[in-house]
């Protein structure tokens, strides 16, 4: 059995997250997703709209995800890889090179982000009054 792991905040869950999970799951049999806890996000200087429990619930509901674990600190990744018998560690290419050191434990891959969608973009667009049309349609047209 081939096991894949990824990590993130996954706030304002969107189709970019789903596509990431779909692509990762296609590489193996079991997809584990580490969801950053509220406390860890605070250490990273990030604030999520949804709390950890809500974000973990949304991620767990995705059909591509087999297991959700809490991500509580930067140093847990090597421990998780060994303890969970991970074959592939996958992240978005915005993290390119940052986790290459894990290559001694498993295969490390960086996947391209889904075009025209990000949580940051959603938050930004929600703050801008829309003059007409559906916000999702506006985002897709960009």
Whether 25 is catalytic: no
Please name the residue that has the structure tokens 């990590």.
Answer: 7
In the set 44, 77, 123, 142, the catalytic residue is 44
In the set 2, 46, 98, 123, the catalytic residue is 46
What gap in Å lies between CA 25 and CA 3, rounded to an integer? 9
Contact present, 30 and 3 (Cβ < 8 Å) = yes
Measured CA distances, 89 to 76, 79, 136 (Å): 13, 12, 31
Of residues 105, 121, 92, 120, the one with CA closest to residue 23: 92
Whether 46 is catalytic: yes
Q: Give the DSSP letter string of 94-129.
A: GGTTTTGGGGGTSEEEEEPPPTT--HHHHHHHHHSP
Q: What is the set of active-site residues?
A: 44, 46
């Amino acid at each position: 059995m081939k096991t894949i792991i990824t990590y993130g905040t996954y706030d304002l869950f969107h189709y970019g997250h789903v596509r990431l999970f779909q692509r990762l799951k296609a590489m193996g049999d079991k997809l584990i997703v580490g969801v950053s806890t509220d406390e860890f996000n605070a250490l990273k200087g990030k604030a999520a709209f949804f709390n950890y429990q809500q974000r973990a619930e949304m991620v767990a509901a995705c059909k591509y995800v087999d297991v959700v674990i809490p991500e509580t600190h930067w140093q847990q990744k090597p421990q998780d890889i060994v303890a969970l018998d991970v074959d592939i560690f996958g992240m978005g290419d915005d993290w390119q090179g940052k986790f290459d050191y894990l290559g001694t434990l498993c295969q490390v891959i960086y996947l391209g982000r889904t075009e025209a969608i990000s949580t940051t973009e959603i938050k930004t667009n929600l703050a801008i009054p829309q003059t007409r049309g559906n916000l999702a349609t506006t985002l897709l047209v960009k």
